[in-house]
Structure 1
Amino acid sequence: MQYLMPIVIGILYALLMSLIREPHRRRLNAVMVAGAGAAYLSGGGLGGWEFTFAAVATFVAYRGLESWTFIGIGWLLHTAWDVVHHIKGNPIIPFFADSSLGCAICDPVIALWCLAGGRTPRELFRGR
């Protein structure tokens, strides 16, 4: 379950976000990437590197306002940051030791959806 639930959460995230019409869907996802980039600021345990990552994520999120590719890149960057925190830093949820690992499994699922254009299930299956 530890490895399956993050995948399910990523799929649910994409399905729920698909209910939002474009261009609002893309813009909201850019904001979500910016928020994810700042998730460890209050105690990630990596000092000044937390601010550096937040700055990079903010830039990528800004570019994501107009590009699904940048949003996907942002989620992949956050995946890497989750792995670093799982190995060396503090978990994203302080009372759940493996939460960064779960996030590192969930985020690539979201990234794949974003890199595919953040399409609705209907659009994905039509090949649009």
Structure 2
Amino acid sequence: MIYVMPILIGLLYALLMSLIREPHRRRFNAIMVAGAGAAYLSGGGFGGWEFLFTAVATYVAYRGLESWTFIGIAWLMHTAWDLLHHLKGNPIVPFAHTSSLGCAICDPVIALWCLRGGPSLIDLIHGWFTRSRTAEGPPPEQTVEVSASDQPHGDTAEPVVSGGTRPRSQRPDR
């Protein structure tokens, strides 16, 4: 359960973030990862290194205000910091010995979602269900390119725009 629950929490985080519309979703996530970068400041056990990590994480999160890639990188940085704290430092939650390990499992799930551009999981799931219903319907109407060379010579009844498209049913007979 110690491995499954953090993955579910990461997925739940991405699902809840999907309720926020873009570009607010990206900016909100930049703020969230900046806060996560400061999580160990009150006693993580690495002294001055905690401040250095927080400064670097804050800069990367700031860059995340305009880039999902930087947000994903910041979550991966936090994952590495969580692993260090699990192995040698103090846990993120003082009374939960494996809390840093759980965070190190959860954070890459969020990072992968961010590196994919923070898509709305709600829209993705909705698309799966609507696509399965529309897949049974008729195929879309096919179109063909029609150019001046496709017209019989001397036919002036219908002008043709070079490079335009017309449905197959409206293609001139030969």
TM-score band by shorter chain is over 0.9
Equivalent position of 1:66 in the other structure: 66
1:27 shift after superposition: 0.4
Query: Which is helix-richer, 1 or 2?
Result: 1
User: Structure 1, residues 22-53: CA drift from partner, whole Å, max 9, x if none?
Assistant: 11100000000100000000010000000000
User: Structure 1, residues 62-86: CA drift from partner, whole Å, max 9, x if none?
Assistant: 0000000000000000000000000
- In 1, distance between residues paired with 2:2 and 2:51? 29
CA spacing shift, 1:125–1:69, aligned 2, 3 Å: farther
1:92 shift after superposition: 0.2
Bigger RCO (CA 8 Å, 6+ sep): 1
Count of residues in correspondence between the two structures: 126
- In 2, distance between residues paired with 1:124 and 1:43? 41
- In 2, distance between residues paired with 1:50 and 1:120? 33
- In 2, distance between residues paired with 1:17 and 1:48? 33
- In 1, distance between residues paired with 2:46 and 2:110? 25
Equivalent position of 2:117 in the other structure: 117
Equivalent position of 1:51 in the other structure: 51
SS in structure 2 of the partner of residue 94 of structure 1: coil
CA spacing shift, 1:88–1:118, aligned 2, 3 Å: same
**Higher Rg:** 2
- In 2, distance between residues paired with 1:54 and 1:108? 18
- In 2, distance between residues paired with 1:125 and 1:109? 21
- In 1, distance between residues paired with 2:114 and 2:19? 14
Q: Which runs of 5+ in 1 are unaligned?
A: none
- In 1, distance between residues paired with 2:80 and 2:125? 27
Correspondences of 1:1-128 after superposition (within 5 Å): 1-121=1-121, 122-123=123-124
Return the TM-score normalized by structure 1: 0.95
- In 2, distance between residues paired with 1:8 and 1:2? 11
Return the TM-score normalized by structure 2: 0.71
CA spacing shift, 1:21–1:56, aligned 2, 3 Å: same
Q: Which runs of 5+ in 2 are unaligned?
A: 128-174
- In 2, distance between residues paired with 1:95 and 1:123? 38
Percent identity of equivalent pairs? 78
- RMSD across aligned positions (CA): 1.2
SS in structure 2 of the partner of residue 22 of structure 1: coil
